[in-house]
Amino acid sequence: MEQYIRLSNSEVMDYVHMIPTWLIEHTRYAEDVEFWGMKNWSVPCGVAVLTREDRIMTLKHLYIDKKYRGGGRGTRFLQQILQREYKKGETEFQVQYIPGQYPEFERLLRRYNWERKEELIGSANCTIGELAELKYLQGNYGNTKALSECTEESLHSLYQEIKDRGVALVDLPIKKEDYLAEYSAVTIEDGKPAGLLLVKKEDKDIVISYLVNLSSNVAAPIEMMRFVLQKGSGQYSPETKCRFAVVSETLLQLLEKIGINTIQKRQCCRMDLSWFSEAERMVNAYVDVQLEIHK
């Protein structure tokens, strides 16, 4: 028997293995985030993450555990989500996804009529060897040091400014053990941290999960990238995959400028939920006809 339930904070932990780490980080501070779970005979088998974007409920992630695929559960889960929003009186619903990451999910979306647009955020993928060949990443890294070298006390003012500017897309204060702290970079200005680039390991890949520059040095983001590249290239092979979480238009433009052209921009698909009203009307009309026939 299948169940669909809204998850409490404690219940999310039973499903966290089906949610990308970057998504958990980027929804941590969302005001209207909802986690929904799907169970098969009380066993977690699927999860959905929704947030409200510009007053419209948005599906960020829908995932069915590999052991439970092939039985139409993804189709039924998406149908439940859409019908729930329609029954609540919502008139629109949207989905955000990066093309190519979850092909099965994209196939589910084809069942419905969406209005699609490309957004200026997403994901960029390359290898360490490809980064090392980019001319903008050659040269020194200015006044940059490793996160592992910075004390919690020295980072406090940077954390506070990040929060004040509303760009805290990661949990602050940083838990250094969650990142590759010796390769994560901090820009120093007037003796104080003023920029941050976080690096973590996910499976065999290197992930640049967060980059912010609050200094007056416009070259600081590139200098922090140089630091990461020069410190990490000796530890990791040129074939090591590197992924950037592109969470702002500014970062997107920076990556394009330095020559990273393997950027997958996020798609936003919007649906008019009046489709369900029409579907209900057709079903009711069919039932009425059948009743007349059998009178």
Q: Provide the pLDDT confidence category of residue 21 given band limits of 50, 70 and 90.
A: confident
Cβ-based neighbour number of residue 183 at 10 Å: 24
Domain boundaries, position 219: 122-266
Number of domains in the chain: 2
Do 148 and 104 share a structural domain?
A: no
136 shares its domain with 99: no
The pTM assigned to this predicted structure is 0.68
Residues 134 and 106 in one domain: no
Same domain, 96 and 174: no
The owner of tokens 């986690």 is 35
User: Is the torsion defined by CA of 45, 51, 56, 61 positive or negative?
Assistant: negative
pLDDT digits (tens, 9 = 90+) for 68-107: 988 899 999 998 999 899 888 888 999 988 877 778 888 8
Instruction: Tell me the mean pLDDT in the region 3-30.
Output: 82
pLDDT of amino acid 295: 46
On whether both 27 and 163 belong to a single domain, the answer is no
Torsions phi, psi for 207 (to 5 deg) = -125, 125
Q: Which of 94, 96, 128 is nearest to 243 (CA)?
A: 128
